[in-house]
Every structure is written in structure tokens, then in C-alpha cells.
Chain A
Amino acid sequence: MLDTRRIRPDFPILAQKENGQRLVYLDNAATSQKPQRVIDAIVHYYNFHNANVHRGAYTLAVEATEAYEAARTAVARFVNAWASEAVVFTRGTTESINLVAGSWGRANVKGGDSIVVTAMDHHSNIVPWQILCQEKGATLRMVEITRDGRIDLADFGRALEARPKIVAFPYVSNSLGTVNPAAQLSKLAHGAGAVTVVDGAQSSPHLRVDVQALDCDFYALSGHKMLGPMGSGALIAKPALLEAMPPYHGGGEMIERVWDDRSTWNKIPHKFEGGTPNVEAAVGLAAAIAYLEQLGMDKVSAHEQELARLAIERLSQIDGVTIYGPAGGHRAGVVPFTYGDIHPHDLATILDKDGVCIRAGHHCTQPLMRRLGVAATARASFYIYNDVDDIDALVTAVRKAGELFGVLAS
């Protein structure tokens, strides 16, 4: 496991108390905390390099542009993208997926076509496709999951028989922790003639990602879940697809020439970055990537898996606790659970009094919750600064909730 005694001091927020208790932050699947290095990178950018990018002829503007483009190179290296220009900066995974739906989708999906998503997708990888389908008269096909929380490959195969235009799925489920066989799914989808869209919001912070090995067409990530600032993110796409796609947002920066009645477009990726970009976010994301690379993504992944394994083992010993998601095999550091008839919101309130921050609710996965037959779950999710003490605090607080409520098995 990672040496959390050396990591924790890098995160100023972890030194503060939550309701007078040690802050036990276990909502990392929602957003991660930020190391000083990321906070400093943002401050440094504004103190020394701030100017609008790709515009000015003066030195400061050149520095800002260099910092922004260096961040693009860092993202490209982090996911082993095809090229730097394969990285389009966005506000996060949601905007990245909307970009694909609004650009590639609008240009290529027609009435009668189908688009495939899975029942474990986050709303951000469902709703943009619903909007596109409604606009085009296309059909959205949701692939079922198995009882142990994996994509049902038989149903996936049936969905491909309709030769969908787009197949979208999460690499890692935010509600179950399932690590999906993304390369295999992408290969199957390509065999049916589809382009693939991988929601990488939960995989990018936690796994060594290689988009070329996955051979997906589009990969979306959020910076704020991987130590970076809110509002940072990227769409990584095969350059040939980006070249052929129409722009998403019109405005400055994304054009080549603007005539009175028409325009021509800038090169990729700038064609998709209309308006002044969030340079601060890009610079902060690059610092986050540097931090993660220094730790090593394989070690990050192993650390979280060990914490999840331990949390599942300890929580399972409590009578009345049900854990969701795959029982064995590869799963990320996400542990969804319910405890008897205690509503997850009550659990979250009770845990918070002990300084333990967990998420309670549907986790933006309502179709999945319906299939699990629950209105909500409690979810503990781990990251690099979490340790065994955090699991002790979680388990102790859950037991306390049981005592307060007098659990009835549901």
C-alpha cells in the first residue's frame, strides 16, 4: 500500500476537523481533495503567467499558451493518447460526452438508428444520448447488467445485432465499482460498426489508462476526481474522427477565417475550444497528473483495491449490511452498501457526526438503482490518502448507526 503518512500532509483539507472529528473523507468518487501542489500551480499561474492563450504576441501570452499546451501534452501522455491534438479540454466528463453527442452524434445519427448504453451508466452517459435520440428519432438501447453487477455480455451482443451507430459505457462504474472489460467491449462494438464512447470519469483517477490499448474512439475524463481542479477535464478522441467532426461551440479561437456569412475552422483540437479556455484548470490538472505519476498509477490502483477489500470484509461482518457490486475479481475503490432498514441518508448524517463523509443517494444512476431494487445506497469510495484508520472510523460509525436505529433486516 501507499505510504499515507507521507501523502496526507500534502492535502491541507485533511488537517481540518469535520464536526470536531478527524476528517474521514470517503466520497472520492464524487470528487477528490487537492494536494498543495495543485493549489500552488493555480496560484503560480495567476501570479506569474496569466494572459489569454493563443492570441497575444507578448511574452506573457506566450508563457500562458505554453503552460496550457504543456497541460494538453501531460493529459495525452497520462492516457497514452494518439497525439496531443487528440486532447480537447472541456469542463469535465459531462461536457466531453455532450460534445461527442452534439458533434459526432448530430452529424452521423439518423432516424431509425440505435445508440447503446448500459444500465450501469452515470446519467451523464445516458441523458446526452436520450436528447440526441429524441432529436433524431433514433432508439436508445440500454444493456442489462448481471446479478453481480457486471455488464451482461450476452445482452451486449444482442444490442449490437441492431448495428448501433454509437456504443457508450463506463470503464469503471461509479455506483458499483465494477471495472468493465473496456478493450473487449470496444472490439465487439467496432465489429458491429459502431464508434465507442468510454466514460472515464472513474477510471482515470484510479487505473493506468491506455486509450490506444482500449482502442476506443472517444474517452471522457474529469480532472476534479483525480486531484485536479473543478471544471477541468478532457475529451480524448482519435484525431481522424475529430478532423471529420463539425464544431461544437462557435466563437473565438475555434475559427480559421470568419466571413460575413460563414467561417472556416481552426485545426484540431482548437476547433472544439471556442472561447477563452479555463487555463487555470488545465494547469492545475497537469500538476495533479504529475503528482499521480510520481506515485505511480499501478500503486494507486493497488492501494484502493486493498482498502476496498478491507472495507468490504469489515462491513460484511456487521449483521444486516448488504454490499453491492462484483463479489470478486477486479473492482475499484468504491464500496456501495445498505444497512438493514436504515435509509442511506440517515446513515450519512450519523456518520458525518463522526467526521466520516460518505455519499448517500442514487449516485446519478437511477436506472441502475431500479435494477438493484433500492431507492438509494450508501457509498464509501477511497483514494490515495485514505488508510486503515479511515476504515476503522467508517465501521465504528456504521455500528453506531445500527445501535441508534435498532436495525431490522430489510
Chain B
Amino acid sequence: MSDLGELYQQVILDHNRNPRNFKRVDAANRRAEGHNPLCGDRIQLYVQLDGDTIQDIGFQMPQGSGCAISKASASLMTEAVKGKPVTDAESMFQAFRDMLAGGANAPGKLAAFSGVRAFPSRIKCANLAWHALHAALQNSAEAVTTESAKDF
């Protein structure tokens, strides 16, 4: 498979075209905004926590904002963490980040982003939603940007 095929795997193209959980969650009790000032991409993340469980999760991106990588990453992330305990979500975030930094593939469909490793300029796109999730779970009030989180 070519590098481009590795990057834009079918599952990524599919989630870009038909993002899952692409919605505002009215019952959300945690939310966070992610912003990549380099490209202007923005994500608004809504999390409904029930005790320690992510009951519901959704995201929105302004019209025209969000490349295929950032949108598909957000979509697959919401699928992966929905219904899971916060600790599972945090360890998935760790595994995802490790994968992009050159480590082993993250579990399940998240491995679709392994091709991003070969495109350093796109790693921030893949990480954006996860940083927003981390901020939402930490209940951090301020918007996260790809430039302020030191480990992006």
C-alpha cells in the first residue's frame, strides 16, 4: 500500500465523510474546545459523564473546519470511548499518543491512524480531538490548543 493509502485508510475516509457522534450533546456535563492555531481547525467536544462512565459523547466542527484526519480521529475516538470508564479513555489516549510518537499500534480501529506517523505535519490533526477529550475529562475550563499542550 502506498504511503497515501496508509494515511487515508478506508475507515478514515469513511469517518471523514460520515462522522459518528457528530452532534451536540445537550445533557453534557463536560465540554472542551480544541483549536489548532496553525491551520485554524476547531473542535467542540461534549461529554456526558455518569459517575465514572462516559455515558454519551459528541463533537462538532465549524463548517469547513476539520481535515479528514482530525474529523475521522474525533469520530473514531467518540466510538472508542463511548460507554467506557474515564480511566479506559485516558489509557486509550496514552496508547494513541504513543502510537503517533512511533510506538505500537493503538487497539482496535484506532490503529487506522498508524499511517499518520509517516506524516509529521499531520500528527497534530490526529491528536486534536484526544486533547480536547483529556481537557474535558480533567474538567479544564480553558480551550486547549495544539500549541499549549507540550506533548502534542
Contact of B64 with A375 in the complex, beta carbons under 8 Å: yes
B-side contacts of A346, CB under 8 Å = 8, 67-69
B-side contacts of A361, CB under 8 Å = 38-40
B24 to chain A, nearest CB (A): 19
B133 at interface, CB cutoff 8 A: no
Interface string of A5-48 (1 = CB under 8 A from B): 00000000000000000000000000000000000000000000
Interface string of A344-377 (1 = CB under 8 A from B): 1110011001000000111000100100011110
B66 at interface, CB cutoff 8 A: yes
Q: How far is the CA of A369 from the CA of B64 in the complex (A)?
A: 11
A-side contacts of B63, CB under 8 Å = 375
Q: Find the B residue at minimum CB distance from A345.
A: B67
Given A349-B119, A349-B121, check contact A343 B40 (CB 8 Å).
no
B41 to chain A, nearest CB (A): 7
Q: How far is the CA of A369 from the CA of B38 in the complex (A)?
A: 14
Q: How far is the CA of A139 from the CA of B8 in the complex (A)?
A: 47
Contact of B40 with A366 in the complex, beta carbons under 8 Å: yes
A-side contacts of B8, CB under 8 Å = 346, 350, 404-405
Contact of A369 with B68 in the complex, beta carbons under 8 Å: no
B5 to chain A, nearest CB (A): 8
Extra pairs beyond A345-B67, A353-B2, A375-B41 (14, CB < 8 Å): A343-B64, A345-B39, A346-B69, A349-B7, A349-B121, A349-B122, A353-B3, A361-B38, A361-B40, A369-B40, A373-B64, A376-B39, A408-B17, A410-B64
A-side contacts of B2, CB under 8 Å = 353
Q: Which of A343, A362, A366, A410 has the most CB of B within 10 A?
A: A343
Contact of B3 with A343 in the complex, beta carbons under 8 Å: no
B-side contacts of A342, CB under 8 Å = 68
| Interface, chain A (partner B; CB < 8 A) | 342-346, 349-350, 353, 360-362, 366, 369, 373-376, 404-406, 408, 410
B-side contacts of A349, CB under 8 Å = 4, 7, 119, 121-122
Q: Find the B residue at minimum CB distance from A400.
A: B4
Q: How far is the CA of A124 from the CA of B4 in the complex (A)?
A: 35
| CB within 8 Å of A: which B102-148 residues | 119, 121-122, 125
Contact of A376 with B40 in the complex, beta carbons under 8 Å: yes
Contact of A360 with B4 in the complex, beta carbons under 8 Å: no
| CB within 8 Å of A: which B40-60 residues | 40-41
Contact of A350 with B38 in the complex, beta carbons under 8 Å: no
Q: How far is the CA of A122 from the CA of B36 in the complex (A)?
A: 19
Contact of A362 with B4 in the complex, beta carbons under 8 Å: no
Contact of A405 with B13 in the complex, beta carbons under 8 Å: yes
B-side contacts of A360, CB under 8 Å = 39
Q: Find the A residue at minimum CB distance from B63.
A: A375
The contact of B68 among A343, A362, A374, A376, by CB within 8 Å, is A343
| Interface, chain B (partner A; CB < 8 A) | 2-4, 7-8, 13, 17, 38-41, 62-69, 71, 119, 121-122, 125
Q: How far is the CA of A342 from the CA of B69 in the complex (A)?
A: 11
User: What are the 7 tightest A-B residue pairs by CB atom distance, in nearest-first order?
Assistant: A343-B67, A375-B64, A345-B67, A375-B65, A346-B68, A362-B40, A346-B67
Q: How far is the CA of A366 from the CA of B40 in the complex (A)?
A: 9
B-side contacts of A408, CB under 8 Å = 17
Q: Find the B residue at minimum CB distance from A372.
A: B64
A-side contacts of B119, CB under 8 Å = 349
Contact of A345 with B64 in the complex, beta carbons under 8 Å: no
15 inter-chain pairs at a CB distance below 8 angstroms, sorted by A residue, are A342-B68, A343-B66, A346-B68, A349-B7, A362-B39, A362-B40, A369-B40, A375-B40, A375-B62, A404-B4, A404-B8, A404-B13, A405-B8, A405-B13, A408-B17
Contact of A405 with B68 in the complex, beta carbons under 8 Å: yes
Q: Which of A344, A346, A362, A405 has the most CB of B within 10 A?
A: A346
B134 to chain A, nearest CB (A): 23
Q: Find the B residue at minimum CB distance from A343.
A: B67
B78 to chain A, nearest CB (A): 19
B-side contacts of A343, CB under 8 Å = 64, 66-68, 71
Q: Find the B residue at minimum CB distance from A353.
A: B4
A100 to chain B, nearest CB (A): 26
Q: Find the A residue at minimum CB distance from B64.
A: A375
Given A361-B40, A404-B4, check contact A376 B64 (CB 8 Å).
yes
Q: Find the B residue at minimum CB distance from A377.
A: B64
Q: How far is the CA of A353 from the CA of B69 in the complex (A)?
A: 16
Q: Find the A residue at minimum CB distance from B122.
A: A349
B7 to chain A, nearest CB (A): 7
A-side contacts of B39, CB under 8 Å = 345, 360-362, 376
Q: Find the A residue at minimum CB distance from B38.
A: A361
A375 to chain B, nearest CB (A): 4
Q: Find the A residue at minimum CB distance from B66.
A: A343
B-side contacts of A405, CB under 8 Å = 8, 13, 68
The contact of B4 among A350, A366, A375, by CB within 8 Å, is A350
